[in-house]
Chains A and B, each alone.
Chain A
Amino acid sequence: GAVVSQHPSRVICKSGTSVKIECRSLDFQATTMFWYRQFPKQSLMLMATSNEGSKATYEQGVEKDKFLINHASLTLSTLTVASAHPEDSSFYICSASPRGSNQPQHFGDGTRLSIL
């Protein structure tokens, strides 16, 4: 149980393109989903916390106009990288927690974004 599906797994596109990444909890409802960014050989950096039906909470230094998050249902959150540029190239990972306190986060397989 507790499967999180993330799509697409790999994106290569030209500079200026907007890219949407989907994160779905397949067998549980997730009131909260998290979006991370991971640079090579580094740990995960939390970008934002996505709450169903409300605005996302962004971490300091993360541009909310660049990284648009929508959490429209209890099983789906999307991250849109608006007008992506080469410096946005990275590995993006989402996670979701089942309802209830102290529930572990379950992670998607990540999306490798490469902007040419």
Chain B
Amino acid sequence: GEDVEQSLFLSVREGDSSVINCTYTDSSSTYLYWYKQEPGAGLQLLTYIFSNMDMKQDQRLTVLLNKKDKHLSLRIADTQTGDSAIYFCAENRAGNMLTFGGGTRLMVKP
């Protein structure tokens, strides 16, 4: 199986909160990242968290890290239709290499 795992799909209504979950396996990862990919585009770095942090908030985005369980989540408050995209979590390895999860497709219904 993949080293980094995510659920495939999430559907929410506009204005609700979205929570995208991710589990990883490498306990030596120092940073964990969330990227957003819109159709036909590259990846946009949304936020990242250092492994000694439990939480990081940046406007509508909140990242929670449970290092013991190797669980990472991204919460998007007041989800908008423009948030519809694929979200990838990633952990860094030696040499700044990233291991990506399979991506979670977020669909926001008006």
Cβ of B95 under 8 Å from chain A: yes
Tally inter-chain residue pairs, CB-CB below 8 A: 53
Picked from A4, A105, A112, the residue with its CB within 8 Å of the CB of B96 is A105
Residues facing B in A44-99 (CB within 8 A) are 44, 46, 49, 93, 95, 97
Cross-chain contact of B42 among A49, A97, A103, A110 (Cβ < 8 A): A110
- How many of chain B's residues have a CB under 8 angstroms from any CB in A? 22
Q: Are A46 and B88 in contact (CB under 8 A)?
A: no
By a CB distance below 8 angstroms, the chain A residues around B102 are 42-43
CA distance A110 to B97 in the complex (A): 18
What residues make up the interface of A, taking CB atoms closer than 8 Å to B? 2, 4, 6, 32, 34, 42-44, 46, 49, 93, 95, 97, 101-110, 112
Cβ-defined contact, B100 with A107, below 8 A: no
* B residues whose Cβ falls under 8 Å from a Cβ of A: 2, 30-31, 33, 35, 40-45, 48, 88, 92, 95-98, 100-103
A57 — nearest CB in chain B belongs to which residue? B95
B30 to chain A, nearest CB (A): 5
CB B49 to nearest CB in A, in angstroms, measures: 11
Contact of B97 among A43, A46, A112 (CB under 8 A): A46
